[in-house]
Structure 1
Amino acid sequence: MASNFKIGLQARHKVIHMNLLGDFDGSSACELINTLKEYCGKFEKIFIHTRGISSIHPFGLNVFQTNLNTAKNQLQDIIFTGKYGCEIAPYQCCIN
């Protein structure tokens, strides 16, 4: 994992916000996938905020999009925001 990557979590009612901070590489992508697996189905909406990402490594992007199938059923409940939201998000799950 990128030594500076962190996922900040803020849960309120049936919504959780995941704030991504640092470099997004392959290990960071795996950490995000595992975090999504843990919280999908427990919350009505998941917001993934990307404004804190410093850089995206192409391998990390590939790992994330390839392994996102585990949360595919709940993609309508996952919303990506921020600078890299539309780059990371599959399909039309982003807000700028």
Structure 2
Amino acid sequence: MAFESEDRAKAYWDKNVKLMLSLLAVWFLVSFGCGILFVDVLNQIQIGGYKLGFWFAQQGAIYAFLAIIFYYAWKMRQIDREFNVDE
């Protein structure tokens, strides 16, 4: 990966880190927040006969994680094109 300048490389890395930290925060909120911290509030809602807190702990966090993976790949492709480091 070759950048035109040190500033462009720093800007690329800053965008990458910002994206990773924001997605990690979403992952934490979905997996730990919805599955553990907010489970009592979420259990008042039911989906398919199962309490929503249980659903997030069992399946919802997995679906959210998969969505985060696909979003990260899509967004990084855009960032790579923006900084002219795509394949």
* TM-score (normalised: structure 2): 0.29
Q: Which has the higher helix share?
A: 2
Report the structure number with the largest CA radius of gyration.
Answer: 2
Which structure's relative contact order is higher, taking Cα pairs within 8 Å and 6+ residues apart?
2
